[in-house]
């Protein structure tokens, strides 16, 4: 079992890994991409030490290189589950499971939503982003899950326990997994309803639904954290002055805890949380 698993290799996660290393604590850092700045060409002009603007992506990629140079284990993979086990936590990706005594969620705020008419209108009114959080409200009801990858299968497993009537909508993506559920592969046109969502409309059909779960891409730490009963306030993970959530051994830092959504603040969080994790491990 590792001492620390850090989910996210943005400024918060990488800085935490570096400061932990300075305290002689090895961590494993798992990230899926370059975080908030991935896919953007924005130049960062307000971070200390760069006389000329630096492309945000380069800044983050340099951080990852820095951690690797210091001998920190950095892995590119998508975390799809997190659960408590004896003495710590188990972190699951599509193909691997990792165990650690403590976990730092430094996953930023990116979310994979769906850009279809009705999504915004019915989000929270029958459309949910988290099966573990809301699946219970749709016991024995007509459920739709939207997605086609590992995260969707993870959510499906939970939803199948709630209802015998769960349909998968892949929104036009091919689907080759063996499942007992009905699968609709036509592109989704819209989500429709009254005061709450009642239908998914596809190119050739209109399907009755009581609840829709969007499970595209991978979850943010809000979903992991909710699964473990972490308190979430206004879409931020709630932490105490030591960056610890209400689940002992589970820490959070960076954009995901709110405040200024800036690199300098994420770096500060990373430094401070490393100290807290160090103290936590030494108390045990
Ligand atoms: C377009 C844009 C421009 C910006 N410009 C500036 C600027 O000029 N100056 C400035 O100070 N700030 C800027 N910001 C904000 C800044 O990028 C963020 O505040 C900062 O990156 C937050 O750091 P973080 O470590 O908390 O999260 P992020 O940098 O978002 O990193 C999150 C990490 O978590 C990983 N992750 C998330 N979910 C999973 C999962 N399920 N499994 C594995 N890994 C996961 C991601 O892959 C990533 O490695 C900008 C943001 C955007 C979007």
Scan for tokens 């739709």, then name that residue: 144
Quick one: 141 exposed, middle or buried, by C-beta within 10 A (0-12, 13-18, 19+)? middle
Residue closest via CA to ligand 1's atom 5 equals: 44
Mutation test of ligand 1: which of 10, 18, 76, 93 has the most ligand atoms closer than 8 Å to its C-beta? Answer: 10
Atom of ligand 1 nearest to the CA of 107: 34
Successive 10-residue mean pLDDT values, the chain, 284 residues: 96 98 96 79 85 92 96 95 94 93 91 88 90 88 94 91 98 94 97 98 96 84 82 87 97 92 94 98 88
- 149 by DSSP, 3-state: which? coil
Residue closest via CA to ligand 1's atom 33 equals: 8
Q: Is 63 in the pocket of ligand 1 (CB under 6 A)?
A: no
Scan for tokens 């609709």, then name that residue: 184
DSSP assigned state of 41: -
Cα(33) to centroid(ligand 1), Å? 9
Q: What pTM was estimated for this model as a whole? A: 0.81
Cα(284) to centroid(ligand 1), Å? 32
Cα(110) to centroid(ligand 1), Å? 8
Q: What is the pLDDT of residue 29?
A: 98
Q: Is 78 in the pocket of ligand 1 (CB under 6 A)?
A: yes
Q: What is the pLDDT of residue 260?
A: 86
Virtual CA dihedral for 197, 229, 91, 148, nearest 10 degrees? 0
Cα(267) to centroid(ligand 1), Å? 11
Q: What is the pLDDT of residue 141?
A: 98
Q: What is the pLDDT of residue 94?
A: 83
Q: What is the pLDDT of residue 110?
A: 67
In order of their start, the domains of the chain are 2-111+219-283 (3.50.50.60), 119-214 (3.50.50.60)
CA distances for 161 relative to 130, 156, 229, angstroms: 15, 9, 19
Atom of ligand 1 nearest to the CA of 47: 11
- 225 by DSSP, 3-state: which? helix
Atom of ligand 1 nearest to the CA of 78: 42
């Amino acid at each position: 079992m590792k001492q620390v698993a850090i989910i996210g290799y943005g400024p918060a996660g990488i800085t935490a890994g570096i400061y932990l290393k300075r305290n002689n604590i090895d961590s494993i850092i798992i990230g899926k991409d370059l975080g908030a700045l991935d896919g953007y060409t924005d130049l960062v002009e307000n971070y200390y030490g760069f006389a000329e603007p630096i492309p945000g992506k380069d800044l983050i990629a340099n951080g990852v290189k820095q951690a690797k140079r210091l001998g920190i284990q950095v892995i590119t993979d998508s975390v799809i589950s997190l659960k408590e086990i004896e003495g710590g936590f188990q972190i699951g990706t599509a193909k691997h499971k990792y165990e650690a005594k403590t976990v730092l969620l430094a996953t930023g705020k990116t979310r994979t939503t769906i850009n279809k008419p009705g999504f915004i209108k019915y989000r929270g009114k029958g459309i949910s982003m988290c099966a573990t959080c809301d699946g219970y409200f749709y016991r024995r009801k007509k459920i739709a899950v939207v997605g086609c990858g590992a995260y969707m299968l993870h959510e499906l497993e939970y939803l199948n326990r709630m209802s015998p009537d769960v349909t998968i909508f892949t929104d036009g993506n091919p689907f080759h997994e063996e499942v007992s559920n009905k699968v609709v592969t036509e592109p989704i046109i819209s989500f429709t309803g009254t005061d709450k969502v009642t239908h998914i409309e596809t190119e050739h059909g209109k399907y009755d639904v009581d609840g829709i779960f969007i499970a595209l891409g991978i979850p943010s730490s809000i979903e992991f954290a909710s699964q473990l009963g972490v308190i979430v306030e206004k879409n931020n993970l709630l932490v105490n002055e030591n960056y610890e959530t209400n689940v002992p051994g589970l820490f959070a830092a960076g954009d995901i805890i709110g405040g200024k959504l800036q690199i300098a603040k994420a770096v500060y969080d990373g430094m401070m949380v490393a100290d807290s994790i160090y103290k936590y491990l030494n108390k045990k």
